[in-house]
Amino acid sequence: MYINSLDKSNGDIIISHNKNGYMINNCKNINNLIMQDDVNIPDVPDERLKYILKKLLFCKNNIDIFDLADEINVSESTIENDIKKIREMIKKYGSNIKVIKNSSYIYLQGLEKDKRKLLSDILFNETNGDFLNIEKYKRYFKDIDLNIIKSHLNKLLKKYEYTINEMTIINLIVHIAITVDRIKKHNILDMYYTSNDILNTIEYKIACDLCDKLEENFFIEIPPREKLYISHLIFSKKIFKNIYSNKYELEKNIEPYFIIITEYLIDSLCREFSIELQNDHLLFSGLCFHIKAMYQRIKHDSTLKNPILNDLKRKYPYIFDITVFLANEFYKLTDLKMDENEMGYFALHIGAALERIKEKQNKKRKVALVCSSGHITSNVLYSKIKSIYSNRVEIEGLFSFLEIDLIKGKKPDLILSTVPFEHNLQIDTIVISPFLNDMDIKKINSILDKEINNKKNLFQDVAQFFKEDIFFKDIRFKNEFEAIYFMANKLFEKGYVPKSYINNVIEREKLSSTSLGNLTAIPHPILMDAFETVISTAILNKPLEWGCHKVQLILMFAIKSGDRTKLNDLFEHLLYIIDNVEGVNYLLESKNFNDFKLRLLNYESNYMK
């Protein structure tokens, strides 16, 4: 029977022979069949867990353990152990969702919304970061054409002139496909509570029109609660256009609740990180609308995958760290938790605001030119300075040394004077020749380059934060939390941090993994409460699974409260090394602490010029 079924479905790949048994007719087809079978059957424990979990989610009926064991070529006891591990895996999806074993059968018990959340997470994770590629999901939805959903959705978005973030459109299609699949298997959402206000929105109109099309194409009936659910999915992916030029206009168009949250978060950020952002209206309005959409996503368990999350964490750890702090403040205020994907989108707003600050700081330096010589000589000097420093300074005007009040009113960053004169202004002043010689140019450059030189001094001094008594070589840990506890406890024992530091680092790690890729992790707390700013180092004897990455070099930051502003500089400095595979491997080869410190300094001198 089995051979007959193979022949019927695969085009006579086997020929029967009375004397000699069976002979393969089409080797190519049989190889394809074997490969197809191999793809479906998991051969490693982690893959087996996901396979069983997907089967529980996709199957209509209970699953027989003995049949499952035969299907994936393992013993019943192995399946029993896998079920225990799966129960641990799904704990984060709430206490309602459980794997229930009844005699020799297993099934998934829980709220439908939790099951959908679990299923979407599994599917997105299995794309290995390529979750914007719709082709990656088609194998999970054999009875549902994702392109049909995509086509209907795009037409409706165009019809209603509704803008959705391009990065999230595939995310929305997959969620809708999951909804259709669950309805086809008679798995309908439990009571879906929402405000009646949604019934008058564009999102609800789009959802109803889309559901009409889905009912036609997939021969299902979509209940009203599912339409409400889809309308919330659509709303959660919406791009809010910032058309309000001031806070007054904003307050007329968004609920006070979100304005209060935004004000609180920005004030907390400014206070904790000593950054002036209270007057950044772009940040305020951007965060306000983002928080409104994010609030809906979190309330309705809608996942918004972020395709640039890992790059954000690795390339901009300081910005992401600010965002983790804000996520924690948001949780304290609302009792709602941001996941890492939401933090990544939040970080984009913070990053843009910090770039705007940097642009202001990098603007041309304002210069007041004080001349005692004649009109012609002054103009020659003016033109020469403007020619040499056209990209770096803006000359505010020519002044007499008697015009102190006028100079003060211009608020220059630098005074260049052809004659020595005394003043009480807190402004760098350089006495130069009326003809601007080479020595004058060097003096001007030294002032203009002061910020750059300060940065270089930080590079040279960063080695002081590494201490031999908190350096560990050829050490092994079972997991990231054992590593964190060990290193944080050593910092406490050596008197660098208070006892609370240990739990603070662990809590920070639970919010978002500090593994950055390239075998490196930088665990640290949200609160900066160390007695001394230091960096503990551990070089593991072999890589450790840490979040989504393997880690072999651990740099644990302990920052003193007053040194909070140094955190960004430390991140930027170390990023030169940890963002480079060669740099990390170079440090991993260190024989001891002195060798590590020497390699750190040598790396700076060779690559940070």
CATH code: domain of residue 434 = 3.40.50.2300
180 and 290 assigned to the same domain: no
The torsion angle over the Cα atoms of residues 450, 455, 457 and 463, rounded to 10 degrees, is 170
Task: Identify each DSSP E strand in 298-379 by its residue range.
Answer: 365-370
pTM of full prediction above 0.85: no
CB within 8 A of 120, min separation 6: which ones? 174, 175, 178, 303
Residue 476 lies in a domain: yes
Please state, in angstroms and as integers, the Cα–Cα distance from residue 298 to each residue in 36, 330, 338, following that order. 38, 12, 7
Please state, in angstroms and as integers, the Cα–Cα distance from residue 340 to each residue in 83, 303, 318, 519, following that order. 27, 10, 15, 20
Give the model confidence (pLDDT) of 191-250 as tens digits: 766 667 788 899 999 999 999 999 999 999 999 999 999 998 898 888 766 556 567 777
479 and 579 assigned to the same domain: yes
Residue 496 lies in a domain: yes
Residue 150 lies in a domain: yes
Residue 434 lies in a domain: yes
232 and 274 assigned to the same domain: no
Residue 302, phi then psi, degrees to nearest 5: -95, 125
Please state, in angstroms and as integers, the Cα–Cα distance from residue 137 to each residue in 43, 121, 173, 215, 333, following that order. 21, 12, 10, 21, 37
Interatomic CA distance for residues 89 and 91, integer angstroms: 6
Reading the block at residue 337, the tokens are 């938790």
Residue 461 pLDDT:
64
Residue 155, phi then psi, degrees to nearest 5: -65, -40
Average pLDDT score over the chain = 84
Residue 568 lies in a domain: yes
Residue with token string 């004897």: 541
Give the model confidence (pLDDT) of 413-444 as tens digits: 899 998 887 788 888 899 998 888 888 898 88
**Contact between residue 505 and residue 488 where contact means Cβ atoms under 8 Å apart:** yes
Interatomic CA distance for residues 275 and 360, integer angstroms: 13
Written as one string, the DSSP assignment of 109-175 is ES-HHHHHHHHHHHHHHTTTT-TT-GGGGGGG-TTS-HHHHHHHHHHHHHHTT--B-GGGHHHHHHH
436 and 463 assigned to the same domain: no
**Contact between residue 364 and residue 401 where contact means Cβ atoms under 8 Å apart:** no
Give the model confidence (pLDDT) of 3-33 as tens digits: 444 454 455 544 455 555 555 555 545 555 4
Give the model confidence (pLDDT) of 113-150 as tens digits: 889 888 988 888 888 767 778 888 998 898 999 999 99
How crowded is residue 465: how many other Cβ atoms within 10 Å of its Cβ? 18
Quick check: 2 pLDDT over 60? no
559 and 462 assigned to the same domain: yes
Q: Indicate the number of domains in the chain.
A: 6
SS3 434: coil
More confident residue, 357 or 327: 327
468 and 561 assigned to the same domain: yes
Helices (H), 462-542: 480-493, 500-511
Residue 567 lies in a domain: yes
Which contacts (CB < 8 Å, 24+ apart) does range 34-42 have?
41/71, 41/72, 41/73, 42/72
Choose one of 209, 236, 263: the last residue of a domain. 236
Residue 501 pLDDT:
96
Reading the block at residue 455, the tokens are 């940065």
The DSSP letter of residue 592 is S
How crowded is residue 257: how many other Cβ atoms within 10 Å of its Cβ? 12
Residue 551 lies in a domain: yes
- Sheet order of strands, 515-517 included: 466-475, 534-546, 549-558, 519-521, 515-517
Give the model confidence (pLDDT) of 443-473 as tens digits: 888 888 765 555 445 445 677 889 999 999 9
**Contact between residue 106 and residue 61 where contact means Cβ atoms under 8 Å apart:** no
Residue 1 pLDDT:
40
Interatomic CA distance for residues 443 and 477, integer angstroms: 54
Report the CATH number at residue 94: 1.10.10.10
Closest-CA residue to 526 (of 493, 550, 480, 561): 561
Q: Which helix (H) or strand (E) holds 571?
A: helix 566-578
Residue 561 lies in a domain: yes
Mean pLDDT for the stretch of residues 31-50: 66
492 and 590 assigned to the same domain: yes
Residue 18 pLDDT:
52
Q: Which helix (H) or strand (E) holds 472?
A: strand 466-475
128 and 208 assigned to the same domain: yes
**What domain range includes position 507?**
456-607
160 and 277 assigned to the same domain: no
143 and 271 assigned to the same domain: no
Give the model confidence (pLDDT) of 77-115 as tens digits: 999 999 999 998 888 777 778 999 999 999 999 888 889
Interatomic CA distance for residues 57 and 86, integer angstroms: 12
Most confident option among 42-46, 443-447, 460-464, 551-555: 551-555
- 547 conformational bin, left if phi > 0, alpha if psi -120 to 50, beta if neither: left
149 and 167 assigned to the same domain: yes
Residue 438 pLDDT:
86
SS3 267: helix
66 and 76 assigned to the same domain: yes
